[in-house]
Structure formats: C-alpha cells, structure tokens
Amino acid sequence: MSALFLILSVISGLFIGRLTHFELHGKAVEIILYALVFLVGLDLSKEKIEKRFLKGILMTIISTIVGTLIFAFILSLFLPLKKLETLLAASGFGWYSLSAVIITSTYSAYIGSISFFANVLRELIAIIISPFALKKSRYGTISVAGATSMDTLLGIISMYSDRETALISFGHGFVVSILVPVFVNLFLKLLGV
C-alpha cells in the first residue's frame, strides 16, 4: 500500500505541475530536502550505534564502488567510449550534479552529459525499485541508491525498512558522497587531465 501511495504521489505531482505550471524556487526544494533529512535524523537519533552498523556501512560502500566500476567496465566493452571515460562517467555514484559539472568543466561536455544522465537514471531506478527491493535486499537497494542514499532516497528507505537500514543508508551515502570527487579526479588524472 505504501509503495502505491509513493508512486501515486509522484504521478499526482507531475500531473498537477504540468497543469498549473507550478514551480518551486530552487532553494525551496533544497530546504525541503534538508528538512526531510533532518526529520529522518531525529528518528535515527533513537538508535544506539553499534559495531554491526559500521560493518554494514563499510560492506555496502565497498559493494557500491566495486559493483559500479565493474558494471561500468563491462558496459565499456559495448560502448564507443574509452574504458576510462565510461568509468569516469560512472564515478558519480548517483551524484549527477557534482560529477557532471566537474567532468564537463575539466574534460568533455559529452562525457559530462553521459555522466549526468547515467547518474540521474541510477537515482530514478533506485526510487522506483526501493519500495519493493528493500523487502528482498536492503543493502543491495542502498548500494543502487549510491550517494543519494543519504538524501533523496533516505526518506523512501526509512519508510520501507527499519531504523538500522536507514542508519546504514545515511552513513553509506555520506561516505560515498565524499568519495565522488576522489574517484572523478582519479579517473580524470588517469585520462591525462
């Protein structure tokens, strides 16, 4: 029932937005997102952090990075791009705004655009599958969310799972977000930029 409500909310928002041409100022969306993360943080504050949380966060981070890069490498075998360019585009780990801007400004608008769309697609897939996938694999779902597991997807993950999973999701997203510029710059250096 909750998954249906989430999907209907998105569809209703799209429909009303198109009909009324309603626009939120860019800062308003950001403030609402921070408020959502704050509320999830308040809820998570009731949890006692244990070593198993840290182990879960670490294993999920490693799985996210290794899985993303392996998938990008395999995909590079079928794309008319250099292998390093495909790895560079994927190294946004879901943070499309940062990775695309860095890549576009320092390397190539074409690869920056690919990075943007690949990472937006990653986030959309995570939004769509989360309500269902969390029942089967909470760590896998967090991994698919990538860097967005601490912001955009955190509300959905906390709604469809437990506090422990939400805590792991936040920690995972926080660390992966820190690693995005590290990996983007690593692949830029390997490309000779």
Q: Which distant-in-sequence residues (6+ apart) come within 8 Å of 103 by Cβ?
A: 88, 89, 111, 112, 115, 184, 188
pLDDT in tens, the chain (193 residues): 455 665 677 678 778 878 887 777 767 766 776 676 677 666 656 666 666 777 878 899 999 999 999 999 999 999 999 999 999 999 999 998 889 999 999 999 999 999 999 999 999 999 999 888 888 888 888 999 999 998 888 889 988 888 888 888 988 998 899 899 999 999 999 999 8
Residue 113 Cα to chain centre, angstroms:
17
Q: Which distant-in-sequence residues (6+ apart) come within 8 Å of 108 by Cβ?
A: 85
The burial class, CB within 10 Å (0-12 / 13-18 / 19+), for 91 is buried
pLDDT for 80 equals 94
Residues recorded for the chain? 193
Query: How many whole angstroms separate alpha carbon 80 and alpha carbon 86?
Result: 10
Q: Where is 136: in which H helix or E strand?
A: none
Q: Which residues of 37-49 are buried (b: 16+ CB within 10 A; e: fewer)?
A: beebeeebeeeee
Rg (CA), the chain: 17
- pTM, entire model: 0.74
pLDDT for 73 equals 97
The domain locations on the chain are: 1-46, 50-191
pLDDT for 70 equals 98
pLDDT for 48 equals 65
pLDDT for 84 equals 97
DSSP state of 161: S
